[in-house]
Structures are given as C-alpha cells and as structure tokens.
Amino acid sequence: MHVIEITGLTKRFHDIVAVDNLNLSVNLGEMFGIVGPDGSGKTTLFRMLCGILLPTSGTASILGFDLLKQSAKINREIGYLSQRFSLYGDLTVDENIEFFAEINEVYDFKTRREELLEFTRLTPFRKRLAEQLSGGMKQKLALACTLIHHPKIIFLDEPTTGVDPVSRRDFWKILSSLLKMNITIVMSTPYLDEAERCSRVALMNGGKLMVADTPQNLKGLMNGEVIEIVCQRVRDAANILKANPQIRDVQTFGDRLNIIVEDSRLIYPIIKQSLHEHNIEVEVWRVISPSLENIFISLMSNRSQGEPQEQEGVHLW
C-alpha cells in the first residue's frame, strides 16, 4: 500500500529548478532513504511534502489526502524533523515537548511525554535547557517533539548529521523501534552506510531522481567488478588509469582507488604494469563488493556524460 504518491513534483526558484518533475512512491511501514549531495533537492522535497513550500507544478497524495487541497489534514498525520535544530534553547526538555504538544493540539500530553522521554532515554535530562544538550541529545529531543501527536509518517532531514557515532547508533535503534510500530519513515542522509539500512533508497542529483530501489537491487546496477587498490600518489594513479579504455571507471576514496573493470583477473595485471611504468607501486589490492557509494558515483558520472536514467526501478534509459 502506497502512503505517499508523488507525481511530476517540481519546484522552481526563479531560474533554479530545485526539484525537477519527480515521480516516486513510498510504502506503508517502510524506511525510505533519500540520498544526494548538497543542492540535490532533498530538503526542498521534504518542505513541499510537509506543506511548507508550494510546488511549482505537479502534486502528491499523502495518506490518501491531496497535497494541494488537503494540507491541513496531512499536517495532523505527519511529523517533520528539519535539518537544523529548531527547538527552543531557553526551554527545558520537558517544556519543549509541552510546547510542541500544544501547537499540535495535544492537550492531554503528560502520559505521552513520559513515554517519549523513556523511549529516547531523555528522562534524566528533562529539566536541562535544550541549548545545554549534546548534538545527539538535541536530535533525540527533536524526534520526541516530532512524535508527540502520534504521526503516521515522519520526515527526517539528515537527522544524524554532525552527531557522534555513539549517538548515531542510539538514534538508529530508536528508528528501528518506530518501524515496529508501523510508522513510515522517510529520511534523507549523507551517509551511505545509513542508506544501506533502508528498505528502499532513492538517489537524487540536481533536483532529479536518478533511480530508486532496494539497496541490493541498486548494487546490481554495477556491471563488472570493483578492484580496490592502495598506492602512493593516488591522484596521479587515478589519472593514469582513467586513460585506459579497458577500465570503466576510477573512483578515489582517500588513500585508495576503486577501479571498475569487466574482469579483475584479466585487468589487474594491466593496472599494476601501467602504474609501475610511472613509478607507482600497488601496496594492497583486492576485489570488493560494490557499495552504494560506487553506484552513486557511477550514476552521476554517466549522467554527466549524457547517459539518461529512469526515475524508478533499476533500469537505465
């Protein structure tokens, strides 16, 4: 069952197309991830779906309600955690939850507040001012405020950005518990390891949806094998290998290269010899499974070269 159906959704800011003719659906009870670089349109999409921005064209249906005609009904059923901490620093944890309960017309909120404080493990900090919380605790408080009115869908815009690894792990445990309650989660994230945990992932760039499917199916888009090598002069090595027509793609990750090839057994000796001729020795090499990062970079590279993609499903145009 689709709880969100987006049809031709577009948002223009003068000459800038922030979201470009987007078509997408989200199923009941799934965690749907949206991944893309800064400026890809993720936040603009969320703000349209939450009724904060009006689309230039297109529409969407959320829980059966029309985005343009029934936004008030939609707002009662959804929660939105924005990219920036938007709570009140001079109010305590308790007071922030109470404030958001009242603006969502939840007046008998005390039992619900106790549940959420326990759920997010914020009970010991309930009297602390929000501005005195750590980054991870602020995000937990923002999530508690988002959940105060029992939303059926929550939109989380990069909720773990800038949060320490321990707090990120705790936050994900909370999200897993929400899925068990059949709450649909739509989240954007810059972390591709987080996207791997989603039931389906949409990859966006330049306001367009490049592809959307399960992480496993997206990895199936990678034709060939990925050779990872560690060597000195990584940038020089990448430029040398990119000039080889037998190599499909070269991606740089810090001190190592991911090299996309048809057959690693045949191509690796050529790679080693090419680098050796330029006084670059391979220190370590191995064949690895493709990651979502490999897929995303490859799709962006294909797009920049003029190869079009479908919007949903695993097939390219």
Beta strand 184-188 with 153-157 is parallel
Angle at CA 244, nearest 5°, toward 204 and 205? 5
Tell the residue number behind the tokens 């009941």, with chain if given: 28
CA quadruple 64, 48, 159, 117: dihedral sign = negative
Delimiting residues of CATH 3.30.70.100 domain(s) in the chain: 223-289
pTM of the prediction? 0.84
Delimiting residues of CATH 3.40.50.300 domain(s) in the chain: 2-218
Provide the edge-to-edge strand list for the sheet that holds 78-81. Answer: 78-81, 153-157, 184-188, 31-35, 200-205, 208-213
Distance, CA of 240 to CA of 90 (rounded, Å): 56
Residue 162 scores a pLDDT above 90: no
Architecture of the domain spanning 2-218: 3-Layer(aba) Sandwich (3.40)
Class of domain 223-289: alpha beta
CA quadruple 311, 68, 33, 135: dihedral sign = positive
DSSP at 316: B
Distance, CA of 67 to CA of 301 (rounded, Å): 34
Query: Residue 123: its pLDDT value, please?
Result: 96
pLDDT tens digits, one per residue of 50-99: 999 999 999 999 999 999 999 999 999 999 998 876 789 999 999 999 99
pLDDT tens digits, one per residue of 200-256: 999 999 999 999 999 999 988 887 899 999 999 999 999 999 999 999 899 999 899
